[in-house]
């Protein structure tokens, strides 16, 4: 998980402008991002269709490789 060290962050917001996914946000208290709800992601729990998954990146990568279409 990527976290923000509040002791080091100077609030320049470079991360907010550069993140291509819009993950970084500005708040009255400084920049913020998803920190996975301390290991209990509420978005996963409440997504009605199960479209959001909280999984080990290595397991996801392996699954994608196994399911990838064969290249000819």
Binding-site ranges for ligand SF4 (CB under 6 A): 4, 9-15, 31, 34, 36-37, 41-43
Residue pair 55/44 in contact (Cβ under 8 Å)? The answer is no
Residue 29 C-beta-side C-alpha neighbours within 13 Å: 5
- Nearer to ligand SF4 (CB atom), residue 34 or residue 55: 34
- Nearer to ligand SF4 (CB atom), residue 46 or residue 65: 46
Q: Give me 45's structure tokens.
A: 């729990």
Min CB(40)–ligand SF4 separation in Å: 8
Min CB(18)–ligand SF4 separation in Å: 8
Rounded to an integer, what is the distance from CA 31 to the centroid of its chain? Answer: 15
């Amino acid at each position: 998980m990527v976290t923000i060290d509040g002791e080091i962050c100077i609030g320049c917001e470079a991360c907010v402008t550069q993140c291509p996914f819009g993950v970084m946000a500005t708040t009255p208290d400084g920049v913020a991002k998803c920190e996975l709800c301390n290991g209990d992601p509420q978005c996963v729990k409440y997504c009605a269709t199960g479209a959001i998954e909280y999984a080990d990146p290595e397991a996801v990568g392996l699954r994608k490789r196994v399911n990838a279409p064969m290249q000819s």
